[in-house]
Amino acid sequence: MEKPTRFVVELCLLKQPAFLRLLKLAEEEYGFQQTGTLAVPCPPEELKRILQDKTWKNTKKRDFNTEETLQCKPGERSSP
């Protein structure tokens, strides 16, 4: 099993469609009983790609295609 990786997420990303989908995947995978850090079902490399995408910060109303933008799958974790 890969060692968990921690990420700091800017609050402005929490309203982006692809990131909201990632949070929904976390809810489906782990439920609401998580304590401490939030675990998401996404490999660290993919989450890093999502967080480094500059279009998140420069876009307010662009509708991201979450199926193309988000390549995370249930069962893949980025943090404990």
Kindly report, residue by residue over 37-55, the tens digit of the pLDDT: 888 888 888 888 877 776 6
Measured CA to CA, the distance from residue 28 to residue 31 in angstroms comes to 6
The predicted model scores a pTM of 0.57
Please report the pLDDT score of residue 4 as a whole number: 80
What sign has the CA pseudo-torsion 67, 71, 76, 79? negative
Q: Which residue has the tokens 């295609």?
A: 65
Buried b (16+ CB within 10 A) or exposed e, 26-61: beebeeeeeeeeeebbbbbebbeebeebeebeeeee
pLDDT, greater one: 47 or 72? 47
For the chain, what percent of residues have pLDDT higher than 70? 64
